[in-house]
Every structure is written in C-alpha cells, then in structure tokens.
Amino acid sequence: MSAAPDPSTIQGPPSVAELTARFEREFGTLPDGVWQAPGRVNLIGEHTDYNEGFVLPFAIDKTARVAVAVRQDSTVRLMSTYGDQGIFATDLTSLEPASAKGWTKYPLGVIWALQERGITIPGLDLLLDSNVPLGAGLSSSHAIECAVISALNELTGAGLEPEEMVLATQRAENGFVGAPTGIMDQSASLRGSKGHAVFLDCRDQSVELVPFDAESAGLVMLVIDTKVSHSHADGGYASRRASCELGAELLGAKALRDVQVGGLDRAKGLLDEVTFRRVRHVVTENDRVLQTVELLTSDGPGAIGELLDASHLSMRDDFEISCPELDLAVAISRASGAIGARMTGGGFGGAAIALTPATAEQQVRTAVERAFSEAGYRAPEIFTVAPAAGAMRVS
C-alpha cells in the first residue's frame, strides 16, 4: 500500500448480500460463507502484556468481513474492496515469510501459520471488506487475520479453540508478517462480546468478560486519532521493554507481573531512576486494570474515569511514551466534559480515548478540534466506538 490511507474514506462494511454479489462478480462463483472479526480498543493496561500482566481491551463495532470459497487447486486469490488493488494470486505450496507485500501478508500469514500446525489448507478465493480504519491503532490488521482464521477454521474442519486461534494469529504476525506483537489484539477480536470488555491475563491467556456497557450508562467512548506517529528512531519501544526485563531481573521476579504495588518501595532502592519509573508504570498499571475490572463489575463504566486519567499520567510521566498531541487530546477532553481520558496503544502517537457523557460528546469534539487547530497540529479524526461482538460467521 503506497500513500497513508485516510480512514474517513473507508466505507462499509457493505451488507452481506452486497459482499456476496461483489464476490460473484470478481470470482465467478458464490462464496461458501462470510465471516467477520472486529478491531479493538484497549480500555486500560498498556505495556503490561509483555510483562505477563493484565490488559482490558474490547472488540469494537467496526469490523472486517471476508467472503471465502474453497477451490479445487492450490491457488489462493485475494482481493480487498479497499484501494483498487485488483486480485492478487499466489500458490499455497510456496508461501515464504517476509515475501508477501501489502495487505496480503495478513491472510497469507494466517494460512502459513495453519500449515505450520499441520492443517491442510485448500486453495481459495477471498474477498475482504473492512470498515476498521487503517493504522489508527484499532488493529485493522488483526481484524483481517481473525476474520480469515475464523473462516479457515470452519472450512477446513480444524476445530481450533479460540486460544489456539489466538496463538496461530500471533505466529502469523511474528513469523510471517514480521511484527513482534503479542496476544491482546486478536484475543479481543476473537473473544470479545457485545457490551463487555475482555479481561485477559497475558500469562496464561485466561479471559473473563467484564460488563462494559457504556451506552446504558449514558456514556460514549470517543477515539481521538491524532494521526501522528513519532519516530521510534531512539528505540523507544525496545528500550522500554529492556528496562522492564532489567527491572524484573534485579527484583528477582519472573516478570514484572509478580511485583506488587507494595513492593515498589524496595524497588526504589535497587533500581536506577529511569528503570524504577518504568517499573512503577507497569506495576501500577497492572493494578489499575484489576481495579477497573472491579469497578466495572460493582459500579459500572461511570466509575472508572479516575483510573483512565491515572493511566495516562503514568504513561506520560513514568513510562514517557506520550507526546504533545496525545497530552492535548487528553487534557482538552477532560476539561470539556469527559469523565476520564488516556492515550491508548503503544505510544509516541496514535489515538487517545475519552469516556464522555453522551450529552457532552459534541462539546468535547469541538473543543479538541479547536485546540488542535490553535496549536497548529494536524486535524485529528474523532469517532465513537462501542463494545461489540467478537468474530463470527455471518452467512
């Protein structure tokens, strides 16, 4: 894919009937079925995943759909409704990691990872349509992978459990796409449920669905995509990860997940100042995830605002992965009516989320847009997301 895609130009998803009709026009046959999988937003729990800790993402009401038909040969033909790229064809028997270009690496990566597990994949025709904005931190790539693996799991009769599909898509990302990603995004996409967040323990992959019905609480979740991506030239991500590993080692813990908030005093004496602050972020963030789960269960979404705020401050000041655009989005959202706001995702750019009374939505949007304009920043993309169902077959 060449130019940076503009999320506002992405339509859809079209109805299943439209997608089926398009499939027939492009491939000359009807699909065997249509499967969908959503993008995700992480409510809280940032940089805790690789510390074997807790995260709390939710599947969103923006979804990738794939119509798929099995072929009698070993050819794979792939097409997306996005970007006018035509049909891409390749042979199943010669998939090489790192060789695939553009978006095809996601479906091909899934096929490759399933082949690696000994699952025989038939040739297939596949048409993708997605309304998950690309590159906005909503995991449009995992939405594709999860829709594809759901389809293949059923069409091949492989019968993989969700946990196994999570690991297979991780393998696709790590081994074929070449991205060192964890298990959070696909866990939300595959295991999400309408009106719930997915409380995921990244150590043992156990999942608990936690009620998160923002709408019934009179709230909306705003996503403010700053559209900035600051350079990782200083090895921002790698150095945070290295600090976490060093911290755990010096504290004699298997992972930072095993360090409690009460253990931070001791850590202060054992770690250099920067490592300590990074450790403090992870340890307190894990604790905030647990508190958020408790509060959502006992009091509902209206009670978690302070935890979202605290998470942002911890990322800004201790983990140092925010940036001026994200800080502005968070500060203005809070000042204009949001009950809690934080940057979400890996950091150094991307999106912030703002949990906002429905009655204040317009006010927050207007205030953030104005503040960005006054600061001379690029106009952000602002939209709402709701906790929605995970992957499923729709036809």
Single out the catalytic residue among 185, 225, 287, 318: 185
CB of 342 to Mg ion, least distance (A): 20
Does residue 185 have an active-site annotation?
yes
Closer residue to Mg ion (CB): 69 or 190: 190
How does 338-367 read in b/e, with b if 16+ C-beta sit within 10 Å?
bbbbbbbbbbbbbbbbbbbbeebbeebbeb
CB of 346 to Mg ion, least distance (A): 10
Integer CA distances (angstroms), 341 to 27, 294, 351, in order: 46, 19, 11
Q: Residue 187, interface with Mg ion (CB under 5 A)?
A: no
Closer residue to ligand ADP (CB): 48 or 141: 141
- Could you give the count of Cα atoms lying within 13 Å of 119 in the half-sphere of its Cβ? 22
State the Cα–Cα distance between residues 291 and 199, nearest whole angstrom.
12
Q: Residue 48, interface with Mg ion (CB under 5 A)?
A: no
Beta-bridged to residue 373, according to DSSP, are none
Q: Residue 189, interface with Mg ion (CB under 5 A)?
A: no
Neighbours of 204 (CB within 10 A): 9
Residues 108-137 that bind ligand ADP (CB under 6 A): 128, 130, 134-135, 137
CB of 6 to ligand ADP, least distance (A): 12
CB of 32 to Mg ion, least distance (A): 27
The 85-104 site mask, x for binding ligand ADP (CB under 6 A), equals -----------------xx-
Q: Which stretch binds ligand ADP (CB under 6 A): 65-73, 79-87, 227-235, 285-293?
A: 79-87
Q: 380 in helix, strand or coil?
A: coil
Q: Residue 63, interface with ligand ADP (CB under 6 A)?
A: no
| Residue of closest CB approach to Mg ion | 141
Q: Which stretch binds Mg ion (CB under 5 A): 66-74, 140-148, 309-317, 339-347?
A: 140-148
Neighbours of 84 (CB within 10 A): 6
Q: Which stretch binds Mg ion (CB under 5 A): 67-75, 133-141, 237-245, 280-288?
A: 133-141
| Contact assessment for residue 357 and residue 339, using Cβ atoms and an 8 Å cutoff | yes
Annotate 253-278 with three-state secondary structure: CCCHHHCCHHHHHHHHHHCCHHHHHH
| Contact assessment for residue 307 and residue 288, using Cβ atoms and an 8 Å cutoff | yes
| Contact assessment for residue 163 and residue 82, using Cβ atoms and an 8 Å cutoff | no
Q: Which two tokens stand for residue 319?
A: 């983990």
Q: Residue 286, interface with Mg ion (CB under 5 A)?
A: no
Integer CA distances (angstroms), 216 to 198, 222, 225, 380, 384, in order: 18, 15, 25, 27, 15
Q: Residue 193, interface with Mg ion (CB under 5 A)?
A: no
Q: 101 in helix, strand or coil?
A: coil
Residues 308-337 that bind ligand ADP (CB under 6 A): none
Closer residue to ligand ADP (CB): 181 or 275: 181
CB of 170 to Mg ion, least distance (A): 12
Among 326, 315, 383, smallest CA distance to 39 is for: 383
Q: Residue 170, interface with ligand ADP (CB under 6 A)?
A: no
State the Cα–Cα distance between residues 384 and 362, nearest whole angstrom.
11
244 binds, among ligand ADP, Mg ion, none (CB under 5 to 8 A by kind): none
Q: Residue 38, interface with ligand ADP (CB under 6 A)?
A: no
Kindly give, in sequence order, each residue whose CB lies less than 8 Å from that of residue 316, ignoring residues fewer than 6 positions away.
322, 327, 343
**Among 81, 141, 189, 243, contact with Mg ion (rule: CB under 5 A):** 141
CB of 139 to Mg ion, least distance (A): 5
CB of 134 to Mg ion, least distance (A): 9
Kindly give, in sequence order, each residue whose CB lies less than 8 Å from that of residue 377, ignoring residues fewer than 6 positions away.
226, 228, 325, 328
Q: Residue 130, interface with Mg ion (CB under 5 A)?
A: no
Closer residue to ligand ADP (CB): 16 or 246: 16
Q: Which DSSP category does 347 fall into? A: S
Q: Which stretch binds Mg ion (CB under 5 A): 11-19, 106-114, 138-146, 271-279?
A: 138-146
Positions that interact with Mg ion (CB under 5 A): 139, 141
* Chain positions contacting ligand ADP, by CB under 6 A: 1, 80, 82-83, 102-103, 128, 130, 134-135, 137-141, 144
Catalytic residue ranges: 185
